[in-house]
């Protein structure tokens, strides 16, 4: 049997640069996966190591409340490749460690449509299916083709089709039945050569008009970038993980009752019920711009909780619990965190 080398292990390693909240926590052991040839050695180590393991992408959907007493593996494998095409579609594979927006640039730059509305979402390609990233009326699942993963338990490679991923709103099989069981190695997308552009959501059409441009893959992407930059805090300036909560979905009866009381309440009917805007509910409870020490609610977007510098993860979680309680009391609606709390 080949004796695969164990990847370089770093001990008591600071994760401050590796989580967009900027929390000052440490990993007991840290390693980096830059090449798939190191996988056998990594898996062998994981299987003999008796402790928790966390795969890390861009750290933009994680909230550390304490040091991670286990092994953190930063997935840093690179590469974007067109693997197949026909008259209508092009199939493009991104390695797990590729930056998501670099992948979007690759597609937009070649005029392949499908992911332009997902421009500028932080994080990596390998994490993008985990919560089925979405923005401006589009979700990852709309362009997803398949992904390659490896089982941590058996070391077997497995392909997951669209159906097998069981994608839902900010959800997938990897947050449920298969949580923590697979390392995603690469994701293949099916992009369109003649895409139908989605400009119906939010302010994309208005932004295009202000830009004086007609819709194209490139202009929609730039419009989305402009809107996002004007609305969302940049983690390089203020620590945050984007939307802290999911938008809650309520049944029709509950919605009708709330609408009677709050006629201006934004709502989006869907197959699973009526989706409400968590940010609006939080704002109505008076939290927008609230600050307590270095933990706070962003002043322009109430859905985003922030670390102004030296807050701890626990302080932000405490604040989130009080927000959940006040939304529950006022609207009888339960907010759930979108962020992974560790
Ligand atoms: C400013 C800002 C704006 C955002 N806007 C949006 C938005 O519009 N829409 C949206 O959907 N999200 C948004 N997010 C959330 C975030 O960008 C996404 O959830 C993103 O997919 C997380 O990617 P990441 O690489 O940073 O994952 P991480 O935070 O590093 O990890 C997230 C989870 O995935 C797991 N994981 C990571 N890589 C792998 C792998 N290769 N195999 C198996 N498991 C893995 C981790 O263990 C963890 O459980 C935003 C975040 C920020 C900071």
Shortest-distance Cα residue to atom 14 of ligand 1? 242
Mutate to test the pocket of ligand 1, among 122, 201, 232, 338 (most ligand atoms within 8 A of CB): 122
Shortest-distance Cα residue to atom 39 of ligand 1? 127
Contact 67, 54 (CB under 8 A): no
Farthest-apart Cα atoms in the chain, separation: 70
Active-site residue set: 170, 243, 338
- Predicted confidence at residue 2, as pLDDT, reads 52
- Round to whole Å and give the CA distance between 67 and 27: 6
Residue with tokens 């923590």: 180
How many helices (H) and strands (E) in the chain?
Answer: 8, 20
* pLDDT per residue as tens digits for the range 188-239: 999 999 988 999 876 899 999 999 999 999 999 999 999 999 989 999 999 9
- Predicted confidence at residue 153, as pLDDT, reads 87
- What is the value of pTM for the model shown? 0.93
Q: Which atom of ligand 1 is nearest to the CA of 234?
A: 1
Task: Supply 273's token pair.
Answer: 């019920």
Helix or strand (DSSP H, E) at 54: strand 53-56
Contacts of 139 (CB under 8 A, 6+ apart): 132, 133, 167, 169
Classify residue 7 by its DSSP letter. Answer: P
CA angle 281/283/286 to nearest 5° reads 120
- Neighbouring C-beta atoms of residue 324, cutoff 10 Å: 17
- Round to whole Å and give the CA distance between 63 and 240: 9
3-state secondary structure of 43: helix
Shortest-distance Cα residue to atom 1 of ligand 1? 242
Please report, for residues 44, 77, 160, 324, the alpha-carbon distance to residue 39 in angstroms, rounded to integers and kept in the order given.
Answer: 8, 11, 19, 41
Mutate to test the pocket of ligand 1, among 19, 121, 151, 341 (most ligand atoms within 8 A of CB): 121
* pLDDT per residue as tens digits for the range 131-142: 999 999 899 999
Strands 144-151 vs 157-161: parallel, antiparallel or unpaired = antiparallel
Specify burial of residue 307 (Cβ count, 10 A radius: 0-12, 13-18, 19+).
buried
What domains are there in the chain, each with its CATH number? 10-75 (3.30.43.10), 80-231 (3.30.465.10), 239-341 (3.90.78.10)
Task: Supply 238's token pair.
Answer: 């203020």
- Predicted confidence at residue 1, as pLDDT, reads 43
Q: For each of the chain's 342 residues, which pLDDT tens digit applies? A: 455 666 789 999 999 999 999 999 999 999 999 999 999 999 999 988 878 999 999 999 999 999 999 999 999 999 999 999 999 999 999 999 999 999 999 999 999 999 999 999 999 999 999 999 999 989 999 999 999 999 998 999 999 999 999 999 899 999 999 999 999 999 999 999 998 899 987 689 999 999 999 999 999 999 999 999 998 999 999 999 999 999 999 999 999 999 999 999 999 888 889 999 999 999 999 999 999 999 999 998 999 999 999 999 999 999 999 999 999 999 999 999 999 999
Question: Strands of 267-270's sheet, edge to edge?
Answer: 249-250, 273-276, 267-270
Shortest-distance Cα residue to atom 52 of ligand 1? 242
- Predicted confidence at residue 62, as pLDDT, reads 96
- Predicted confidence at residue 269, as pLDDT, reads 87
**Ligand 1 centre and the CA of 61: distance in Å?**
4
To 10 degrees, the CA torsion angle through 96, 233, 304, 249? -70
């Amino acid at each position: 049997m080949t004796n695969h080398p164990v990847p370089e292990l770093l001990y008591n390693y600071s994760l401050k640069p590796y989580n967009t909240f900027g929390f000052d926590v440490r990993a007991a052991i840290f390693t980096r996966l830059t090449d798939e040839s190191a996988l056998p050695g990594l898996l062998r180590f994981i299987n003999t190591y008796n402790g928790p393991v966390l795969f890390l992408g861009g750290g933009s959907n994680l909230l550390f409340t304490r040091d991670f007493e286990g092994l953190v593996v930063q997935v840093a494998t690179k590469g974007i490749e067109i693997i197949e095409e026909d008259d209508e579609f092009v199939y493009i594979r991104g390695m797990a460690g590729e930056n998501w927006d670099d992948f979007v640039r690759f597609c937009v730059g070649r005029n392949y449509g499908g992911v332009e509305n997902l421009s500028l979402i932080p994080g990596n390609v390998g994490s993008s299916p985990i919560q089925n990233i979405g923005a401006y009326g589009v979700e990852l699942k709309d362009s997803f083709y398949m992904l390659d993963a490896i089982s941590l338990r058996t070391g077997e490679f497995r392909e997951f089709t669209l159906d097998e991923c069981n994608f839902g709103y900010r959800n997938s099989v990897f947050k449920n039945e298969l949580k923590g069981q697979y390392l995603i190695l690469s994701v293949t997308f099916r992009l369109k050569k003649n895409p139908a552009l989605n400009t119906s959501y939010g302010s994309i059409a208005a932004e295009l008009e202000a830009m004086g441009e007609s819709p194209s893959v490139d202009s929609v992407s730039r419009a989305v970038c402009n809107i996002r930059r004007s609305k969302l805090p940049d983690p390089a300036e203020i620590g945050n993980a984007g939307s802290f909560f999911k938008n809650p979905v309520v049944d029709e009866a509950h919605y009708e009752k709330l609408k009677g009381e709050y006629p201006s309440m934004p709502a989006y009917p869907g197959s699973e019920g009526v989706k409400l805007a968590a940010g609006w509910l939080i704002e109505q409870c008076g939290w927008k711009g609230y600050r307590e020490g270095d933990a706070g609610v962003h002043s322009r977007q109430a859905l985003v909780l922030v670390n102004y510098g030296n807050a701890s993860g626990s302080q932000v979680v405490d604040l989130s619990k009080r927000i959940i309680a006040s939304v529950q009391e006022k609207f009888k609606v339960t907010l759930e965190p979108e962020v992974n709390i560790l």
